Structure 1
């Protein structure tokens, strides 16, 4: 086996993680993938056999298609709700208190780390936290997204599962130009050998020992924590927004056909019959009237557009499916009991409640690992976040009306999701709501409204 080998669960989930990455990146990323998300029709394939100029048919088809930014919009709303939560942080030791303001490898505090974990869980349903120490012996968190955790193994020790191997992919600077951004891929391997932690860095065939040194003793456990949406086990779980992402991609494909049909309807194909060799056609008038030879005929070939309405109806159905998927994840109407949470785990249904809980537990576990590493007591170390989204309840009838209006484009999806999450209608003006609707339609939400000087105070 090689260090580049991947876990079977990683291989099975990678395609969905890539879909999520592209869905969140937006329309440009989706369109750059070409036929991956928008296949060519049989007619386009046959036309391209006639010459390279026919490739412009597909280019026009792809350009006219619209990719909806539902995933981005819902992600922003969910992170906005989570960012209002205030963690309870108890760090009894002065050696750990620095974490509150400086916990990550790039110098951010515990709350920022928590939000990053939540964001990764919403995007991919999975991430990992590595506990490491810098050259001064100060511990910190390093966050790895789902696509960077390539391989892992667990074994049973005394009836309990222990993580004894993790392979992490990293990108190192590989540019000789100080302004360049070329990188090379390296692999960080954490493994337990004879009950002691050993860390190595595999770089283009060379292997360097990177086992962290803090005192004379080596760690007897792997300081890596898996984070999930329903539990923090090493197994790959569900992706909360995958249903919405797939609905958005299907809507994108349908929109290509829809706007292609509208294009053909608006640009009928002209035809002329009865011309003889040498006959000439004169064009006059402002909008080009034809003067035909005697006994000639002309007209337009127009498509009937019978399927246009059905295509538009299916696009609306995909929008509705995406809205329901987002509402299921953002459901914050009630606190979960322990039994309810176990039932949710059995059903593998991730909500904002379970995501917040799992993210907080992962950060707390990391702090306890640091305390053990520093030979401190971890019993009083606390990092908890109560998933209390104002404990608001919403009117089911009003929520249903908002949902229907959002599908029809009468109110914005963001307004609907904010009402579901808070139980209150957002305090914005009619003009701002109109801007939200237009921004969602044009795919520019986050620029039109949120870059204004008189923007409302909404996360």
Structure 2
């Protein structure tokens, strides 16, 4: 019986609809509308008019107009982009042995960008895979391992052994769909189906240790004898250099997308939008009706200014249309959905209060709203660190020298001028805080990049420069001298007709 490499793991099959929904929601209105009835079903009248039978039918044309009028809200993209901006407002701290400092992605991107891609997929689908691999036929000295990231839809199969008491489970099989378009000699493109198979030990057994091998095959042409063991300067691995990174852990088990509820809410808003705008459209599509007129169906009837309609006694002419009853309720329901989606998405990440808010209140609010981001940041960094430690083992380096520390200062209050004045005033009134601690706070909020010692040295240099515009006066006041200032001993700023003297007289 031939091996079918396209077989999909049961957990991947179950999660795929959620991944598709989230990816469609992130791509936006054009992608969502291209799915037609998947996200926006036809109305009963559109089905009755043949909408499901023919694209030329009245029902299908009515459905296309119904879909075109609808608006899809892209709260999902806004939430993910704002979360990424906060998570990477400061770069992560990545420490590596010197021999590993040139490790990049397979596209040559630095590890900071790799971590950003990992975090994006964690937010979007809740899952991503990272594999360490070696370049093929490298130039001398260019044989450094690189990292490849894989979307969850590409990681179609895996196995980490049986759950047996306390026996540790280890990844012994990963199948990745690497199908792609390849360019022909005439510049046309052909779809090529291929799968990368990663194996530890015997492919037929759930081994907890063994030689790591891999190979690329067609769907039905898998041959275990063609698997090769990647070697770095004679060193092989006894583990698969592949790490699953979910939203909450780095195990092969699938996690739900953290923003799945927001994606579903966006689809609900899309359907409500379609119904609401359909009713608005129908409000302006009244039908002209005559009662008692003796016209045939082919007779033309003119309406509007300058037109005349002759009716017999007792006849009538009027417009008949859809009533507006229920429109206000639809609008209110739509506003409630959008408000709820906003609270689930990007607006929850806003650390700037719309009104003055106490420090404790703002900190508590942001801590609650960024709890998921802390988990995602920690998990993404842990996954990247794990695959880099595998690279260290492969390259005969010390894995303990590898560390990835993510930025998690995305819930901090901004350091404003008013805040700095309040802190300085509190210190002058006896608050036991050192100047170094105040400088550390300024550096943490990215107001300066200098160390405390560098800042002190720069300040002393400025104080010694008499021409420095912000030089501090002998009394310690940094405010510039005003015209006719009585505190100016030399009278260099005296200007006739201007005074800052409390008596109103020019300084003598």
In the TM superposition, what is the alpha-carbon distance from 1:360 to its structure 2 partner? Answer: 0.9
Residue pair 1:272, 1:299 contacting (<8 A) in 2 also: yes
Residue pair 2:78, 2:345 contacting (<8 A) in 1 also: no
TM-score by length of 1: 0.76
Residue 299 of structure 1 pairs with residue 335 of structure 2 = no
Any residues of structure 2 matched to 1:10-409 within 5 Å, and which? 10-48=12-50, 52-93=57-98, 95-99=99-103, 103-135=104-136, 136=138, 137-155=143-161, 159-176=167-184, 179-194=187-202, 195-207=210-222, 209=227, 211-276=229-294, 280-283=299-302, 285=304, 289=307, 291-295=309-313, 296-326=315-345, 330=349, 351-389=372-410, 391-392=412-413
Q: What SS does structure 1 have at the residue aligned with 2:332?
A: helix
Q: What SS does structure 2 have at the residue aligned with 1:291?
A: coil
Counterpart Cα distance in 1 of 2:87 and 2:61: 45
How many residues are matched?
A: 380
Residue pair 1:105, 1:142 contacting (<8 A) in 2 also: yes
Residue pair 1:3, 1:167 contacting (<8 A) in 2 also: yes
Counterpart Cα distance in 1 of 2:264 and 2:285: 32
In the TM superposition, what is the alpha-carbon distance from 1:276 to its structure 2 partner? Answer: 3.0
Counterpart Cα distance in 2 of 1:114 and 1:272: 70
Counterpart Cα distance in 1 of 2:346 and 2:299: 64
In the TM superposition, what is the alpha-carbon distance from 1:289 to its structure 2 partner? Answer: 4.0
CA RMSD after TM alignment: 2.9
Counterpart Cα distance in 2 of 1:350 and 1:7: 31
Q: What SS does structure 1 have at the residue aligned with 2:106?
A: coil
Q: When you count helix as a share of all residues, which structure comes out higher?
A: 1
TM-score by length of 2: 0.69
Structure 1: segments with no counterpart, 5+ residues? 395-423, 425-459
Q: When you count strand as a share of all residues, which structure comes out higher?
A: 1
Q: What SS does structure 2 have at the residue aligned with 1:159?
A: coil
The structure that has the greater radius of gyration is 2
Residue pair 1:153, 1:166 contacting (<8 A) in 2 also: yes
* Deviation by residue 1:189-230 (Cα, 9 ceiling, x = unmatched): 111124111212122533454542323343210110010111
Q: What SS does structure 2 have at the residue aligned with 1:168?
A: strand
Change (3 A) 1:219 1:267: same
Residue pair 2:133, 2:145 contacting (<8 A) in 1 also: yes
In the TM superposition, what is the alpha-carbon distance from 1:315 to its structure 2 partner? Answer: 1.4
* Deviation by residue 1:65-97 (Cα, 9 ceiling, x = unmatched): 11001111111111111221221122223x201
- The range that moved more, 248-257 or 196-205, is 196-205
